[in-house]
Structure 1
Amino acid sequence: MDPQAPMTIPSALIVDDEPDIRELLEITLSRMGIQTQTAPDVSTAKKLLQETAPQLCLTDMNLPDGDGIELVKWIQTHSPNTPVAVITAYGSMDAAIQSLKAGAFDFVSKPVELSRLRELVNSALKLSPAAESEDTPGDDPGLLLGNSSEIKRLRNQVRKLARSQAPVFISGESGSGKELVARTIHLQGPRSEGPFVAVNCGAIPSELMESEFFGHKKGSFTGAVDNKDGLFRSANGGTLFLDEVADLPLAMQVKLLRAIQEKAVRPVGDSQEIPVDIRVLSATHKNLPELVAEGAFRQDLFYRINVIELSVPPLRQRKDDVELLANHILQRVAREYECDPATLTADAIDRLKGYDFPGNVRELENILERAYTLCDNDVISGDDLQLGNGHQTALTAPSLNPDNTTSLPDIPEGDMDLEGYLESIEKQAISKALEATRWNKTAAAKRLGISFRALRYKLKKLGME
């Protein structure tokens, strides 16, 4: 950085018809080193916005000649690089949600809490005007790879949403990349330096949910041997991604709604609420409106997390991206297993493009990892993909029991975990082969009748490295 270069002093426009509020906001922002201008109404605000293009606009909701939402919409059209935050009446969540839907960066409620205001202002000033323009040259794919019109449209939507602090609901089929979209929104926004905490709501036992989300105090229940922050506080200053939010039980939905609305959590066993500064993103592959209609998901929580909905296209709707994604996945797999990357034959590419991928990108990854272990000479043919008639066939090793002496686990009566049962057989066979060859992996792979690369893959997959 040039020490002789003049420092750019950020500027803000404050729009409020109450002189006392304007003065309070002016003093607060001035102490943060921000130049301020004020306007008592919408018309004056529009004039100043056209003349000065400030880095931030704070506007009251109720103004003499209009309202804050009207001004938000005007700014989106005439000054889109200016983040605008709306000051709403206490408890007026509907007005706050309307402002976010109109394009507001964030909102703050009256009476204005100065610490919350400072957080909001600092987040807004981190936004780079160059990154906010729709006409930014080039289309850096970042984590969202692809050249199809569908993925380009998604990347454009993500760039816009990254500017806001509005809750985003990400819908899409299983395996389509919803968490990747959430992570991209986080990385492209003003919270990128903060934590990104992703949680699968369906994977937490219901009796532990409150403690997992909100934390607990030492001694608050049996087993609480230490204080615990919980997911909300772990994400403070960053983003909390609630995956499979439809799996939350109704009792937890009530508590989650309060935490999101109040921007505060109460740990189990504590009498005080602790403020948190997070952006909430959520996702599910289920149809939330249907669950709301059935009474399985609270309408008020749906209304709160679904301020903006973002739909992730399934892989079958962007077949033009399959080859690019496949090559990227193969490069990653080769790095993970420390082997040479494999290439796809023209027939393999054609078969992948002709497949519907009911499991989306996640299924593509599984297919390619599997084919990578089976192919010869680092070339994946169409047959190596084993897609069959739209279905994959089971991966079998030529000899899982090379000496015919390994005792197989008993097949349980009634219901069973087939995948776990088969994994236990593989672990036994691989362990026996490694012991017989004194952990010479090349010799063990030969003994098992599989390639060295296939053995590396299985050791990693089965947690035996």
Structure 2
Amino acid sequence: MSSPRILVIDDEADLRELLEITLLKMGLDVDSAETLAQARACLAQHDYALVLTDMRLRDGLGIELVHEISASARPIPIAVITAFGSADNAVTALKAGAFDYLSKPIRVEQLRQVVHSALRIDEADTPAVSAAGPLLRLVGESAAMQDVRAQIVRLARSMAPVAITGESGSGKELAARDIHSQSARAGKAFVAVNCGAIPEALMEAEFFGYRKGAFTGAAEDRDGFFQAASGGTLLLDEVADLPLAMQVKLLRAIQERRVRKVGATTEEPVDVRLISATHQNLADWVEQGKFRQDLYYRLNVIELRLPPLRERRDDVGLLAGVILQRLAGTDTVTVLSPEALVALQGCTFPGNVRELENILERAMAFASDHLIEVADLALRQTVPVLVPIPVPAAEPLAESASVVAPVDEMAAEKSITEALPASLPDHLDEVERDIIRRALARTHFNRTQAAELLGISFRQLRYRMQRLDIHGPE
């Protein structure tokens, strides 16, 4: 079996020779070119596992080749070589479709990391390219979700940082896991970090690790999140919660691809794919001075927006079926009645999929015969549906009547207004009384368990029972 072939494009003979020697020592076949014209001729003759190109060449820019290869029938991983400090060029190349980038002066270990990642992508035959389509965790057949899944499959072939935006509960971590599982890094670790849950004093040690004796309580060497995700993917969830001091250290780790443990004197290389997620508008935070602009551009190379559930109501039924099946486990699956499904599709879901899951989990506790009705959902009506009040027909006017008595509009409006409060509170009390009674019956009148089922405190349940005149069994 022949070795993978690499194409190196650079007009600096010394650098080109250094790259060739390093790649040959790795057991790879290498072709080299000085110009875009020579590179295009090589690409027409051979299949390459990776293309390495400088950004500035004698007859053009390497970004032109990035566009051409990205648009080709068989996209080849292409990494660009940028000058020291040219972060903008690297970001531009990644947005254009480059697989990765190398900064001058090129370090051998960084070159090896890029090559190994590219070869894994070239050799991997992931489910994303199967005829049945990608096996993703994100559920939905709406046009919005189909577009999201298509973006995930494309993003999985790159090393470019991805910023996932979306409201709370919309599935940002699931999207990150899908990107990881469809990539060549699927066999390595996926590490998700909630940036808002780490005390600021411990943040550097948690991210980069520490040496024994670095501080009080450091009884042994310990790796951080970057080392734990080595070769895999690191998700920075709620990245907007990072304090400014930590943002500076994170930026250096991203730029240098090296981290230094707390208490250590030397840095060590790290190989991770970075994905960030937040429900905040980071661009606004940058303007307000809460988030560093340079870090924002490093993380937000490619943006993936997840639509809220209210923008894909057609997916509610499919999502509900998947959630109910998962909640049932090995038991009989509980299903929604047609009326209950319509009621769910009319919700705004400010908590998105997470709120839908909570509603269904609570409804399963009230459902009879594994069928969820509208009352079991206990939905909060933001706009009450008013029942039309019958108005008696008016007496026919005599044909000879020449004067029509004026209608007392204020009196009529007052009678309708008085009629509504007289019936609506009673109806709502009856609905609440029925839900509480069913919860008490299901728990054999164990009020503590009933309160947990209803998602309220014991004191709130006791108050409601007194107000609604609900008593225990004789």
Structure 1 segment 140-179 matched on structure 2, within 5 A: 140-179=134-173
- Is residue 440–residue 446 contact of structure 2 (8 Å, CA) maintained in 1? no
Correspondence for 1:192 among 175, 186, 190 = 186
Match of 1:44 in 2: 38
**1:48 Cα deviation after fit:** 1.9
Change (3 A) 1:423 1:264: farther
Which one of 431, 440, 453 corresponds to residue 398 of structure 1? 440
Structure 1 partner of 2:209: 215
1:227-267 Cα shifts (integer Å, max 9, x gaps): 22111111111111001001111111111111111111111
Structure 2: state its 5+ residue gaps: 384-430, 449-453, 462-471
Task: Give me the whole-angstrom Cα distance separating, in 1, the residues matched to 2:145 and 2:135.
Answer: 9
Counterpart CA distance in 2 for 1:216 and 1:424 is 47
Structure 2 CA distance, aligned partners of 1:129 and 1:316? 40
Contact 2:260 2:267 in 1 (8 A): yes
The one-character-per-residue Cα deviations of 1:99-147 (angstroms, maximum 9, x if unpaired) are 1111110011222222221221111112258969998644334212211
Mapped pair 1:127 → 2:116: no
Structure 1: any 5+ residue segments left out of the alignment?
A: 1-6, 407-418, 427-447, 450-465
Distance 1:225 1:15 in 2: 49
TM-score by length of 2: 0.80
Kept in 1, the 8 Å contact 2:126–2:183? The answer is no
Partner of 1:341: 333
Q: Deviations over 1:83-111 (max 9, x none)?
A: 10011222322221121111110011222
1:365 and 2:372 correspond: no
C-alpha deviations, 1:202-246, integer Å up to 9, x for none?
Answer: 111111111111111122112222222111111111111001001
In structure 2, the residue matched to 1:410 is none
* Aligned alpha-carbon RMSD (Å): 2.8
2:294 pairs with 1:300: yes
- The one-letter code matched in structure 1 to 2:303 is E
Distance in 1 of aligned mates of 2:190 and 2:275: 10
Deviation at residue 35 of structure 1 after TM alignment:
2.2
Relative distance call for 1:19 and 1:424 in structure 2 (3 A) is: farther
Give 2:317's match in structure 1, choosing from 293, 312, 323.
323
Cα distance in 2 for partners of 1:130, 1:224 equals 40
Give 1:185-264 correspondences, 5 Å limit. 185-264=179-258
> Is 1:81–1:129's contact at 8 Å kept on the other side of the alignment?
no
Cα distance in 2, alignment partners of residues 322 and 421 from structure 1 = 26
Which residue identity lines up with residue 346 of structure 1 in the other structure? P
Q: Does the C-alpha gap of structure 1 residues 390 and 365 become closer, same or farther in structure 2, counting only changes over 3 Å? A: farther
Whole-angstrom CA distance in 2 between matches of 1:65 and 1:402: 82
For structure 1, which segment, 8-17 or 254-263, has the greater mean C-alpha deviation from structure 2 after superposition?
A: 8-17
Question: What is the Cα deviation at residue 352 of structure 1?
Answer: 1.4
Deviation at 1:424, TM superposition (A): 11
CA pair 111-142 structure 1, distance change in 2 beyond 3 A: same
d(CA) in 1 for partners of 2:84 and 2:347?
Answer: 53
In structure 1, which of residues 409, 422, 431 is the aligned counterpart of residue 457 of structure 2? 422
Q: Matches of 2:446 and 2:270 in 1, distance apart? A: 60
Higher mean displacement: 215-224 or 57-66: 215-224
Aligned to 1:356: 348
Q: Which amino acid aligns with 2:315?
A: D
Equivalent residue runs for 1:45-84 within 5 Å: 45-78=39-72, 80-84=74-78
- Per the alignment, in what secondary structure is the counterpart of residue 59 of structure 1? strand
Query: 2:165–2:304: 8 Å Cα contact kept in structure 1?
Result: yes
Summarize deviations over 1:355-391 as a string: whole Å, max 9, x none: 1111111111111111112111111112211113159
Taking the aligned partners of 1:242 and 1:311, their CA distance within structure 2 comes to: 16
- Post-superposition Cα deviations, 1:270-317, rounded to whole Å, max 9, x if no partner, equal 221121111110011011111111111111111111111111111111
**Contact kept in structure 2, 1:14 and 1:26, CA below 8 Å:** yes
Checking the alignment, whether the CA contact within 8 Å between 1:150 and 1:313 is kept in structure 2 is yes
Alignment counterpart, residue 377 of structure 2, candidates 378, 385, 410: 385
SS at match of 1:169: strand
